[in-house]
Amino acid sequence: MPGAPAGVVIIGGGVAGALLALALRDQGAAVRLLDAAPADGSSSATAISYGALPGWPLAPTPLARLAATASQRWRELERCHGPLGWQRRSLRLQGGNLALAGAARLGLLPFAQVDTALFGARMPLVLAAAGVAVQSLRVLALEALDGGWQLQLSDGSCCIAAQVVLAAGAHGRALWPGLLERLRRSWASVLHLAQWPEVLGPAAAWLPQGFARVGLECHAAALQQPAWVVDPGLVPWGAGALVGQHTWMAPGGMSTAAPSESLCEAQLRQALAARPQWPMEGAVVRQAAVAFCSSGAPLVGPVAEAPGLWVFSGFSAAFSQVPVLAPWLAMRIAAPAGPAAAAQRQLQQLGVWPAGG
């Protein structure tokens, strides 16, 4: 039997669902968050993310300029809710422009990281303290009712809500196939080292100046056969580190099946062999499906022809974009008409409001 109607139900408890839940609580909304780990044993994208936060715009767009201020928002969140894993970090930029690499080494580029091991450990406590009702349940199906939504859950129960937000990352399309085509998915594989390699000195982030992953995402629609790239990065993760980033994509960036984990690991290790200073002995591979939008602008707003259904997904730099966009979407969903209309205008000006939504 359906339970009592909830105000807003969020499907997905990665960085998008979790920060939106906190922002909706700030608006006074009753929030229920449903999150279940992927059935195939893979991770959520958030769980193995580098969590890098460049403090400068990565593109000449209003969204990129806003995202460059994300560290301020993370620090506000930490003042309200306690530690979430935000750390100022030394940055070691790899390859490309020597002047930029030098500026990073001298600490002239503002850079921080959300340690996603810490973020994942703290978030359940933070959500509970903020009054978000979190349940480890998978949403199996969504059905439109007159003036609301009914969700079928993995424990056999149903839940009814006036407003539902799809923050299910790369799994959102499985629940609502009508999401805009620009929302696609790739598969990421990383190596996890349990201990920080002391040979590298104090914790720091080694990142390439440009990610090959981003180039692959731009060409997803035209891809005729599966493709993969490796980006050489190394960042602190809890007591250990995440090393390398292998990205695999099917034609069109639409596949749901994971690529062979052992093949991705072999390709990743082979590409990283060029960096013998990065120890990889004992590292284990972890894999996740990652949502992205081929245009670079995420989907933040209503789903077309589905009143009360919202989408918050497809970020190209989620840890920079989600904290600055979540308050606007929360306001659009839960604030009175005047502020809600202003929030919608802001999201439209940022170019993230889904066309036709």
What is the contact surface with ligand FAD in residues (CB under 6 A)? 11-17, 34-38, 44-46, 48-52, 138-139, 167-171, 175, 188, 190, 245, 288, 290-291, 313, 315, 317-320
Q: Output the smallest distance, CB 146 to ligand FAD, in A.
A: 23
If you count DSSP H runs as helices and E runs as strands, how many of each does the chain have, helices first? 10, 17
Q: Output the smallest distance, CB 338 to ligand FAD, in A.
A: 29
- Residue 256 parent element (H or E): none
Choose between 50 and 228: whose C-beta lies nearer to ligand FAD: 50
For 58, 75, 89, 300, the CA distances from 55, given in Å and listed in that order, are: 9, 13, 11, 22
Q: Output the smallest distance, CB 189 to ligand FAD, in A.
A: 8
Choose between 45 and 134: whose C-beta lies nearer to ligand FAD: 45
Tell me the three-class secondary structure of 38-100, residue by residue.
CCCCCECCHHHCCCEEECCCCCCCHHHHHHCCHHHHHHHHHHHHCCCCEEECCEEEECCCHHH
Q: Output the smallest distance, CB 273 to ligand FAD, in A.
A: 19
Residue whose C-beta lies closest to ligand FAD: 14
162, 7 contact by CB (below 8 A): yes
Q: Output the smallest distance, CB 209 to ligand FAD, in A.
A: 14
Choose between 42 and 346: whose C-beta lies nearer to ligand FAD: 42
Q: How many degrees, rounded to 5, is the angle at CA 20 between CA 340 and CA 179?
A: 80
Choose between 15 and 23: whose C-beta lies nearer to ligand FAD: 15
Choose between 175 and 198: whose C-beta lies nearer to ligand FAD: 175
